[in-house]
Structure 1
Amino acid sequence: MTRAGAETGAGGPEASAEATATATATATDGARPGAPPRALVVVGDVVTDVVAVHPEPLAPATDTAARIRTLPGGAGANAACWAARSGAAEVRLLARVGTESARWHEQALLDAGVRPRLVVDPAEPTGTVVALVGKDAERTFLTDSGASLRLCPADWAPDLLDGAARLHLSGYLFFADSSRELATVALRAARGRGIAVSVDPASAGFLAALGPERFLDAVAGIDVLLPNEDEARLLAGLPERAGAARAAAELSRRVPLVVVTRGAAGALVAEGGRVTAEVAAETARAVDSTGAGDAFTGGFLAALLAGAAPARAAGAGCRAAALAVTRLGGRP
């Protein structure tokens, strides 16, 4: 790996304020001429997660006791780390971070087996997400995207796709003009090379604000869509009471393979306008559901890279998600 800057800081994002350069991973390291494509390239977000677990309901206008941790996160970065944890031979990540935590995030990704190409933003800090986790392990997010949505076409490098078998785009990219343009560039580059592309819609709230049809137009030509139930219904133009199976089937008329995650109910696989498999969730004692969908995505994509059929890949995704909810934060 080639990178600029001083030694990696330790102890948290505040320990690396002097980092000012772009951290890069040479995309072709380890590639052999004539070797079959094997890499997964993820383009998405790296953020700092502040996870607050509060066993009791929030008490307005006073204190609520909580267990609070600051952890590396971000939907794109989480998915990349879970793909590496799930056996993907090579995982690369393109993201944008702030100078104050660039090295901390870089080292966390390297430790997870991911090759990061982090563009350091000179103006905005790394995105921050406050995750409020209640007694039921469900989470509510407060999101400041910061530098993550300032990715732009100039950050793209064609060599990121050298030796790649799959490209995964975090849905968060599509919710800001600059990062959406970058996602379009990456998608076209992958399609031009015959590389399969997957997208997870990321956020029902942001999706509704952008507009479902606008999102679907932006991702036209992808091979795999990975929404949760709420996102699937929204994208399919169905009411809240509609079943996830109907939404999955409808979306698979527009995208060849649709996998709808359903939390404790597992996942649905749809192809060609019909549901082709229902995959049960793995039993787990949930502590924090933050990043469960990202874990599913990473496990699923790693299995596809290994040659698994969609239903078996969804099973691998469910196993990763079950492991993810047993720990704080969104990373392995």
Structure 2
Amino acid sequence: MSGLLVIGNVVTDVVARHRGPLAPNTDTPARIVLLPGGAAGNTAAWAARSGAREVRVLARVGADSADWHRAALAAAGVTAQLVVAAEQPTGVVIALVDETAERSMVTDVGAAAGLRLADWDPVLLAGVDFLHLSGYLLFPPAGRELARAAIADARAAGVPVSVDPASTGFLGALGVPVFRAAASGVDVLIPNLEEARLLSGEAEPEAAAIALSRWVGTAVVKLGAAGAIAARAGAVIARAPGVPTAAVDSTGAGDAFAGGYLAALLAGADQQRALAAGCAAGAQAVAVVGARPAVG
């Protein structure tokens, strides 16, 4: 197994690393960089870095930066299937990263929100052994329609499907019942702990993973520096500790985990080794500025 298709968002990240709290009504010094990002692009890039072959990403970007994003994905080993919107700019995320490496994000989804059923073609599953959906795809109605078609086509082709919920803020606005309906039929759910708590109603990681595993095939809960836990059919089946690292920027760490985890599954790893691979990729991600592996 090797082929991975990721569907979701590719955006431009503005990463601002500041020390101390943001100062209201005046300037806060920061080191600011402009980088390619977006959960789908990030996950695909980390999967390629982690050894997955034939990694592709389907996303919608604006004409303002389509060539730049296509080139950045190619440099990361990812084939970009980018739908270019002439009338909308590429989405932009401002990531405010504090001195503890934790980030808060201000998001303009831009063209990413326009991905729709017309952009989907079952032929995109040719050569694909795993389909991964970024949760951002499921928040707008048009994206949910595409997701339903892609999940149905993948299941008909015997291709397993995973979903990363991606954002508690958007999840809360959408509503848990709507999200759970949109993710119905997936094989693997990969939330972080806060997303798992919101989706399951359980506070403890193990309880949340167990509850979520009763409605998806496998629930993998990302615990940041504490590692990850996997449950299936109401029972914990694997755990992995976090990988110590000197964190500078947590942007994209969850996407990196998903990429490393999926690459390991594609290589035939069991859940224990796949969790460990995800944790290793996540540790690499927080040690660099930006959401993708360094290229070159």
TM over 0.5: yes
The residue that corresponds to 1:16 in the other structure is none
Deviations 1:302-326 (A, max 9, x none): 0000000011101000000000001
Equivalent of 1:201 in 154, 157, 165 = 165
Q: Does 1:245 align with 2:206?
A: yes
Following superposition, the deviation at residue 54 of structure 1 comes to 0.1
Where does the alignment leave 5 or more consecutive residues of structure 2 unmatched? none
Q: Does 1:297 align with 2:258?
A: yes
Q: Does 1:79 align with 2:79?
A: no
Q: Does 1:144 align with 2:105?
A: no
Following superposition, the deviation at residue 38 of structure 1 comes to 2.8
Distance in structure 1 (CA, Å) of the matches to 2:226 and 2:197? 16
Deviations 1:164-202 (A, max 9, x none): 100000000111011111111111110111100000000
Structure 2 SS opposite 1:208 = helix
The residue that corresponds to 2:218 in the other structure is 257
Structure 1 SS opposite 2:250 = coil
Letter in 1 for 2:130: R
Distance in structure 1 (CA, Å) of the matches to 2:28 and 2:263? 40
The residue that corresponds to 2:58 in the other structure is 94
Deviations 1:110-166 (A, max 9, x none): 000001010001211000000000011000000000000100111112221001100
Matches within 5 A, 1:6-25: none
TM-score with structure 2 length normalisation? 0.98
Structure 2 SS opposite 1:188 = helix
Distance in structure 2 (CA, Å) of the matches to 1:57 and 1:203? 23
CA contact (8 A) 2:239 2:275 kept: no
Structure 2 SS opposite 1:164 = coil
Distance in structure 2 (CA, Å) of the matches to 1:261 and 1:270? 12
TM-score with structure 1 length normalisation? 0.87
The RMSD of aligned alpha carbons is 0.8
The residue that corresponds to 1:283 in the other structure is 244
Equivalent of 1:274 in 223, 235, 238 = 235
Q: Does 1:218 align with 2:182?
A: yes
Distance in structure 2 (CA, Å) of the matches to 1:277 and 1:311? 5
Q: Does 1:182 align with 2:146?
A: yes
How high is the sequence identity, in percent, across the aligned residues? 58
Equivalent of 1:61 in 22, 25, 43 = 25
Following superposition, the deviation at residue 281 of structure 1 comes to 0.5
Equivalent of 2:197 in 225, 233, 243 = 233
Structure 1 SS opposite 2:278 = helix
Distance in structure 2 (CA, Å) of the matches to 1:57 and 1:164? 45
Distance in structure 2 (CA, Å) of the matches to 1:190 and 1:306? 19
The residue that corresponds to 1:156 in the other structure is 120
Letter in 2 for 1:189: D
Letter in 2 for 1:107: A
- Compare CA radii of gyration and give the structure with the larger one: 1
Deviations 1:267-294 (A, max 9, x none): 0111110112221000100000000000
The residue that corresponds to 2:12 in the other structure is 48
